[in-house]
Structure 1
Amino acid sequence: MNLGTLYALDFFAAATNSLGTNQPNELTSFLTSLSNCSNVQFLDLSANHFNGLLPRSIANLSTKIIWFDLKDNYISGNIPLGIENLVNLQCLFLDQNLLTGSIPNSIGKLSVLEKLFLHNNNISGEIPSSIRNLSRLGVLGLSINMIEGSIPISLGNCTNLQQIYLGYNHLTGAIPYQIFGLSSLIILSLSQNYLTGLLPQEVGNLKNLDGLYASKNKLFGEIPATLGNCEVLEFLHIDGNLFKGIIPTTFRQLKGIQELDVSRNNLSGQIPRFLGEFRFFQYLNLSYNMFDGEVPNEGVFKNISAFSVVGNNKLCGGIKLLQLPTCPTQVFNKRKQLFNHRVIVLIVTLTIVLLSLCILAIIYRNKRSKQQVKLASPLQNQYLQLSFGELFQATNGFSPSNLIGEGGYGSVYKGILNSNEQIIAVKVLKLHKCGANKSFVTECEALKNIRHRNLVKTITACSSIDFKGNDFKALVFEFMENGSLENWLHPSLLEQHEPKNLNFVQRLNIAIDVACALDYLHHHCEMAFIHCDLKPSNILLDGDLCAHVSDFGLAKIFSATNGISIHQQSSSIGIRGTIGYVAPEYGMGGEVSTQSDMYSYGVLLLEMFTGKKPTSNMFIGNVNLHSYVKMCLPEQVMQIVDLQIILEMEEEPSRSMQSSTTNISKLEACLVPIFQIGVSCSTEMPSERMSVKDVLKELHKIRNVFLGVSGQRH
């Protein structure tokens, strides 16, 4: 197609056709042919079949062009730097393609740009700081990519922004308060990232905010009461974070709210009755928090399909379909006013006596707590004895600034013991969670019977009471200064200022370390242990990047002689393990075995060398991490390997003075058997999975081949 002779052409729209089918260079040819059309202002080629790279020839398009639409095609490669030449461009649509690379800093030269849509691609890197120059920008669509780094403060300079879509990326750090100075903002979408910190109080400045989506991040603290100032807010989704406290009373001002999702946080208190007064509610999710008291039965609470309160174990009342216990009632008997003087005196006397006894009991209990009376440690006497008070002091009162991890049954804090200045990790059990006590007992039972260099070292356990007289249980471990494997493979706030990466040998060493731990647990203990929850967040790295398997709260312990389970699974806990890593036979109610751990190990191995989580949004339908890797073996192995491995290898000086090409070839030769091991271990049939002994044998061979001669750690 050649339109180069249509010099007066100013409008061309060919959306939703079949242009580009089986023609890899058709887009380049077409855009090149438009170079002579100096009057083109509108170009729409969306929803076609164009593929290949976005050509540099777009730099030669008419400088009058204001609308450029190539969305919903199959365009790959980087965004060309020459795009900055389209100085009058107002709307740029490149979404729903296969673009890679980073957003060029030159994008900031498109000073009149009003709409930028790049979502649903494979774009990585950081949001360029030059975006501050797009003062007319009204819509920024960058969701569903692999964008890293923090949200730039400079977005606050784009004073005309109405819609910001940054969800489903790898963004880290805090939400900059400058964004909440954008008075015109209507939609702010930040879900499915790794954002941390507080939701700034300045959110209340967004008087025109219609939708706030910040689900599945790591935001903590209380929900700001200032959100009640966003009186036109209709959609508020902040589920899957670490918020605590109550639902602010100022929320009664959100009269137009349609959807409110605060599930999977740590919220407490009673469910506000005013939520039942909102007329436009279509969806209310309060599940998996710590709410207590009566569930209202007005408004949205009448429609069982419109709200959820599951996972709050202290609720009562509500509509009958909830099947919650009846709330206790206080009966006030008017006949008490007719009691004679003697009965009143008797009641008063008894009340005083009972109050006195209660006060004495409280004083005694507090005294007992302050004296640091310890209950018997489940790990017996050979371990260091630590009290609640010592752990409280070591962690600065379990300060949020010391929080280094959060799990289903416990929170992990960094601490320093005053007695010897030893750095420790303290796992405090969430005793209100169903199954937490069982998890504590199971982990203690496991830890007192096992010891291996690739298992986390246990210092002690503490089963006591806190200063308020509440039960307190904690496990104390040796601190691992390099954190979890999860934070290395999928960096969070801890790595945003100084990113850390694992090279090929380091990943291989970690894979061997984990296999050694499993070999010990399965075959070399007095009782066989099955971990049941092997995943990157449960693998901790010390100063030498040596791996240590942790978290035995879900472990199953078997007799070494007859294979009978020592601790039967509790039905109250349900399916153990983590989605994406749990073996399919266990998820369908089958018995766990050592092969269940091998399935998790196989998934872990594939994740380590592809850099992709098994729960990634890219895996849909029948495609999972296992099948994704299997389809690419062996010819396309370099297309699925974590790009960071290749970059690290290219940057490292070769000790043998080999060329970069030779090193890459050797890497490819070693990656194929590694992925084959991962695929074999994560196959659906347990009987077809490799044993841990065979895995260790093969991984040692691979490491020896890659290193040349020695199998020693680097």
Structure 2
Amino acid sequence: MFCQNLQYLDISQNNFTGIISPHFLQTHSSLTYLKFGENSFSGSLPPEVGKLIHLADFNVSHNQLAGGIPISLADSSDLENLYMQSNFFQGTIPPNLASLKSIQQLDLSRNNLTGSIPKELEKLQFLRYLDLSYNDIEGEVPNTGVFSNASQISLIGNNKLCGGIPELEFPPCPLIKGKNRGKLKVIILLSIVLPATLLVLVFLLLPNNNMSRNKISEYGMGLVASTQGDVYSYGILLLEMITGRRPTDDIFVGDLDLHNYVNGALHERVPEILDPLLLLEGDENRNMTPGGETINGGREIDCIISLLKFGLKCSARLPNDRMHMNEAVRKLHLIKDVFLGVRVHQENFEA
């Protein structure tokens, strides 16, 4: 099917099965209304949906779609109504959905979404209906924007939420002072990363280390087990920990993998790719830029960026471009010392 100037397509309430064709989405960028609801479409929602730059109304509700919500949806900047309820979508709600400045109705209910509610959604001034009910969302509920009116939002069925306006009747959130929360999370991250690195290093230095090398695989790169392979796996693991993404997530198609995903956001969009649990409500880090005027002089975000650069260096595609494990340990200690204020920026954070 190819209609170059197709603008309106409604095939809802049928018995269509199979996947939503990426090719169809890519070749029908003129669409403004697209309704696939109440069918039996399965698979993931292709990232090519972002090619529909004129799309105003998009409905894929009541299907069997799974995988993550494509971050490319934010490229459909004219969206006014987005209905994705009653599917099997999983993962976190992309914070960049806040770039849908014209969005009026957003329904993501009855899926398997996890993580926190992106605080950025508070900024959507035309959003008048938001339904996130019956997922597994957790953390603090924002309290401004659409979240300030209980009649415009539905959050029921998410038993791990807290805070928000009193009308929502969620329990109070555990009290952690905002000025210490970001620092605490980064310290916890470093506390996990450093011992793990040292453990790998010990394995590598043992006279008989074949078992450790076999256990630390190279994520299907097909290369012979080696210290460079161990470093690669460690780098990917670190990127997973910071972003909350796995190399097998559905958003990674074609040339886009976890390494490129992080590398492309490193300089200007770091908060967009971080695991939402690192940026819970109240964190000064949420909209931070490197070196920003925040608690600890911006050390939290600088530390996270340094860890991302470290993970990228370890997971370079060519083995000879990767960092050696003993150098990795030294770099991690440097990052920790600078973050805690034990050492000033005597050498570049970059790996």
Tell me the TM-score normalised to structure 1 length. 0.25
Q: Please say if 1:283 is aligned against 2:109.
A: no
- Output the amino acid matched with 2:109: S
**Aligned equivalent of 2:217:** none
Per the alignment, residue 295 of structure 1 pairs with 141
Higher strand share: 1
Per the alignment, residue 223 of structure 1 pairs with 69
| CA spacing shift, 1:193–1:333, aligned 2, 3 Å | closer
2:186 equivalent in structure 1: none
Give me the whole-angstrom Cα distance separating, in 2, the residues matched to 1:287 and 1:332: 27
User: What is the alpha-carbon distance in structure 1 between the residues aligned to residue 67 and residue 60 of structure 2?
Assistant: 14
SS of structure 1 residue aligned to 2:176: coil
Aligned to 2:20: 175
Q: CA deviation at 1:332?
A: 8.3
Aligned counterpart, 2:206: none
C-alpha deviations, 1:452-474, integer Å up to 9, x for none?
xxxxxxxxxxxxxxxxxxxxxxx
2:17 touches 2:39 (CA, 8 Å); kept in 1? yes
Structure 1 distance, partners of 2:177, 2:44, is 43
| SS of alignment partner, residue 219 of structure 1 | strand
Contact 2:95 2:121 in 1 (8 A): no
Taking the aligned partners of 1:289 and 1:159, their CA distance within structure 2 comes to 38
Query: Does 2:84 correspond to 1:238?
Result: yes
The 1-side partners of 2:102 and 2:179 are apart by 42
Match among 186, 191, 196 for residue 42 of structure 2: 196
Aligned-residue Cα RMSD (Å) equals 2.7
**1:347-378 Cα distance to aligned partner (Å, 9 max, x none):** xxxxxxxx99xx9xxx9xxxxxxxxxxxxxxx
Which amino acid letter does the alignment assign opposite residue 278 of structure 1?
L
Structure 1: which amino acid aligns with 2:134?
Y
Instruction: Decide whether aligned partners of structure 1 residues 190 and 329 sit closer, same or farther in structure 2, where only a CA change above 3 A counts.
Output: same
Instruction: Please say if 1:330 is aligned against 2:176.
Output: yes
1:226 deviates by 0.4
- Give the match's secondary structure for 1:290: coil
Give the alignment partner of residue 248 of structure 1, picking from 84, 91, 94: 94
In the TM superposition, what is the alpha-carbon distance from 1:178 to its structure 2 partner? 2.4
Aligned counterpart for 1:269 among listed residues 97, 115, 124: 115
Distance 2:59 2:179 in 1: 50
The CA deviation string for residues 519-556 of structure 1, in whole angstroms up to 9 with x for no partner, is: xxxxxxxxxxxxxxxxxxxxxxxxxxxxxxxxxxxxxx
Q: Give the SS at the match of 2:157.
A: coil
Higher helix share: 2
| Stretches of structure 2 lacking an aligned partner (at least 5 in a row) | 181-190, 200-247, 250-351
Larger radius of gyration: 1
Measured after TM superposition, the shift of residue 179 of structure 1 is 2.3
Say if 2:18 and 2:42, in contact at 8 Å, map to a contact too: yes
Matched, 1:260 2:103: no
Distance 1:162 1:296, change over 3 A: same
Distance in 2, matches of 1:160 and 1:330, equals 54
Deviation at 1:193, TM superposition (A): 0.5
The amino acid across from 2:105 in the alignment is E
Tell me how far apart the structure 1 counterparts of residues 173 and 41 of structure 2 sit (CA, whole Å).
39
Shift in Å, 1:253 = 1.1
Q: Which ranges of 4 or more aligned residues in structure 1 deviate by more than 4 Å?
A: 331-334
* Structure 1 residue 247: Cα displacement: 1.1
Partner of 2:275: none
Q: Distance in 2 between matches of 1:309 and 1:319?
A: 12
Q: Pick 1 or 2: higher relative contact order, CA cutoff 8 A, min separation 6.
A: 2
Cα distance in 2, alignment partners of residues 333 and 176 from structure 1: 47
**Cα deviation 1:563-585 (Å, max 9, x = unaligned):** xxxxxxxxxxxxxxxxxxxxxxx
How has the CA–CA distance of structure 1 residues 182 and 316 changed in structure 2, closer, same or farther, with 3 Å as cutoff? Answer: same
Identity rate, percent: 44
- 1:205 matched residue in structure 2: 51
Q: Deviation of residue 249 (structure 1)?
A: 2.2
Partner SS state of residue 101, structure 2: coil
Seen in structure 2, the aligned counterparts of structure 1 residues 259 and 331 have a Cα distance that, compared at 3 Å, is: closer
Q: Which residues of 2 match residues 530-541 of structure 1 at below 5 A?
A: none
Q: Is the 8 A contact 2:113 2:137 kept in 1?
A: yes
1:332 and 1:214 map into 2 onto residues whose CA distance is 38
Query: Against the structure 1 CA distance between its residues 283 and 174, is the aligned structure 2 distance closer, same or farther, given a 3 Å change threshold?
Result: same
Unaligned runs of 5+ in 1: 1-153, 335-354, 364-398, 401-714
Q: CA deviation at 1:267?
A: 0.6
What CA distance in whole angstroms lies between the structure 2 residues aligned with 1:217 and 1:264?
A: 11
Amino acid at match of 2:13: Y
Does 2:167 align with 1:321? Answer: yes
C-alpha spacing 1:173/1:331, structure 2 compared with 1 (3 Å)? closer
1:214 is the counterpart of 2:60: yes
1:164 aligns with 2:4: no
Letter in 2 for 1:178: H
1:319 and 1:159, CA in 2 relative to 1: closer, same or farther beyond 3 A? same
Query: Whole-Å Cα distance in 2 between the matches of residues 230 and 211 of structure 1?
Result: 10
Q: Give the Cα–Cα distance (whole angstroms) in 1 for the partners of residues 53 and 177 of structure 2.
A: 46
* Equivalent residue, structure 1, for 2:158: 312
1:276 is paired with a residue of what secondary structure? helix
Give the number of equivalent residue pairs: 188
Q: Distance in 1 between matches of 2:15 and 2:8?
A: 19
Check 1:323–1:158 CA distance in 2 against 1; reply closer, same or farther (3 A cut). same
Deviations 1:185-230 (A, max 9, x none): 0000011100001111100001100010000100011011000000
Deviation (angstroms), 1:182: 0.8
For 2:32 and 2:154, the matched residues in 1 are separated by 27
